[in-house]
Amino acid sequence: MTRYTTATDADREAMLAAVGVGSIKDLLAEQIPNALLLQDPLDLPEGLTEQEVYTHLADLAAANTSAEDEVTFLGAGMYDHYVPAIIDMLLGRSEFLTPYTPYQPEVSQGGLQVMFEYQTAISELTALPVSNASVYEGPSAVAAAAYLAKLVNNRQRIVVSAGVHPHTIQTLETLAVGYGQQVTVVPLKNGATDPDAWAAAIDGDTSTAIVQQPNFLGAVEDVAALSDVAKAEDAGGDKLVLVGAYDPITLGVLAPPGEVGVDVAVGEGQTLGNRLDFGGPSFGFFAAREAFLRRMPGRIAGETTDVDGRRGFVLTLQTREQHIRREKATSNICTSQALNALAGVVYLGWLGKQGLPELAELLVQRTHYARTTLAAIDGVELLHDQPVVREFALRLPGVDVEQVVAYCQDHGVNPGLALARTHGEEYADGLLVAITEQRTKEQIDRLEQLLGAAVAAQRAGSQSTSHPAGVTA
C-alpha cells in the first residue's frame, strides 16, 4: 500500500479477475495494438544507489550558475529582486502548499480568499476593474488576451510592436495559427514603437494591438498616444482591443494601464515575490475592463455572503472547457499558478502602497546612474535615448558582445543579455542591462570596470582578456 493509493496486491488481483484477465500486461495487450508495444527492453544504464544518485545530481547542479553565485545584471523578462522571508514562510504552510482547485467553497475559503485578495491587488495595480485569478506566465497571458479580442470582434489580424518580448511574439505567432489569425509586427524607431508604422498597420480587420511597457529594450512607451492612434485608426469603431504587456514593478512610477486607454493589461508576475529558479515557475496576471468579464480566461473568485449573512468567497466565473461546452470555453488552462500568485499578493502587501513607488523610484535612480556610467565608457554608447525605468540597451560597436559577456562572467559579474541571441544581426552589437534594488553602486562600478577593460582589449585587437590592465579577479 502506498500513501497515495489504497489498492493492495490482493485488491488488484480481485479487479483483474473481475474483468477476466490475469495481469496488467494482459489487460494492456487487449487495448493496445501489438505494433505499438515496445518489443525490447529500454536501453537504460544500470540503476544507481540513492547515495550515487545524490552525488550525480549535485554534480549536475554545480554546472549551473545562479544569481546567488554571481552579480547579475541579466533581465530581459526575469529579474533578480529580493524575496522577503515572509513569502517562504506563508507559501510553506500546508493550507496553501497542498490544496488543489477550490471546487467546494465550504472547505476552500482560505484558498478562495487568497484568489480574491490577489485579484483586488492586481485591479488596484492596473486601474482596471476586473482581474482573473492568474494564468501560467507572461507570454501565454498576452496570447490569451489576443484570443479574447477575437472573441469580442471576430477579426483576423494581430498588430504587435517589435518592442514586445521576442518570446511573447513567438508565442503569439504559434497560437495565432490555431485561432486563424495573422500577426503583423510593427518596427521600432529609436528604441520605441514607430507611431507612423503603428498607425499604418492598424485597419478595420485589426482585432488587437499589443504594446509592452516598458518595452524589451527598456524604453518607456507613450502608451496613451499609441492607444489614441489605434482607436482612431479602427475603422470598425470601438471594437479594437488594446493590450498592454506590463512590468508590474514599474507601475510604481508609470501611469497604470487603465488610465491610458488600455483595455486588457497582462504581464509576467515573476518580479512580484517569485525567485528566478532557473526559469520558473512564475505566474501571469490578467486584468481587463468590465465589458470583457465573460471573455476572460481561467477563473475569477468572488465575494458573497452565506445564509447567515457572513462574508464568504466562491468561484464566480470558470470559463474553461472542463466547466462549459468546449466551443464556448475561453481557455484550456487546467490550473492557475495559485501558489505563485499568492507570493505576488504577499509581496505587494509587504511593500504596501508607499513601498511600491519607493522601490520603483529607487530603480529609476540606480538605472540612471548605471546607464550614464556605462555609456561614458570609451567604445560604449546608448542603443536609444528613450526614458527608462529599470533596464536599458547599449551598443558595443566593433566588439564581440558574447566575448565581453564571457569575460565579465569569468570575473563573477553577468553584464546582461547579448541582444544577438534574441534579435540576430539587427542588434548584433547590443547589450541589454537590467537593474534591481539588489544592485549596489559598488557593483555597478565593478561592471563599469570590467566592461571597459573587455571592450578596450577587444578594440586593441587583443584576444587575451584574462586580466586586462587595471582589473583584478
Position 1 confidence tier, pLDDT thresholds 50, 70, 90: very low
Which of 269, 239, 293, 344 lies closest to 128 in space, CA to CA?
293
**Listed residues 348, 369, 398: the one ending a domain:** 348
Q: Is the pLDDT of residue 473 over 50?
A: no
Greater model confidence, 30 or 83: 83
Is the same domain home to 246 and 314?
A: yes
- The per-residue pLDDT for 106 is 80
pLDDT per residue as tens digits for the range 86-105: 999 999 998 888 877 777 78
**Going by C-beta distance under 8 Å and a sequence separation of 6 or more, which residues neighbour residue 312?**
105, 109, 303, 304, 305, 306
Is the same domain home to 136 and 227?
A: yes
Is the same domain home to 23 and 100?
A: no
Is the same domain home to 316 and 270?
A: yes
Summarize the confidence of residues 348-358 as an average pLDDT. 96
Is the same domain home to 341 and 374?
A: no
What is the CATH number for 386?
Answer: 3.90.1150.10
Range of the domain at 278: 85-348
Q: Give me the number of domains the chain comprises.
A: 3
Distance CA(117)–CA(121), nearest Å, equals 6
Distance CA(250)–CA(260), nearest Å, equals 15
Q: Output the CA–CA distances (angstroms, integers) from residue 79 to 22, 189, 252, in the order listed.
A: 56, 26, 16
Summarize the confidence of residues 239-251 as an average pLDDT. 95
Is the same domain home to 52 and 124?
A: no
Is the same domain home to 318 and 424?
A: no
Q: Which helix (H) or strand (E) holds 161?
A: strand 157-161
Is the same domain home to 110 and 221?
A: yes
Distance CA(112)–CA(222), nearest Å, equals 37
Q: Is the pLDDT of residue 112 over 70?
A: yes
Task: Calculate the average pLDDT of the chain.
Answer: 91
Summarize the confidence of residues 260-284 as an average pLDDT. 92
* Percent of the chain topping pLDDT 90: 74
- The per-residue pLDDT for 469 is 47
Is the same domain home to 226 and 211?
A: yes
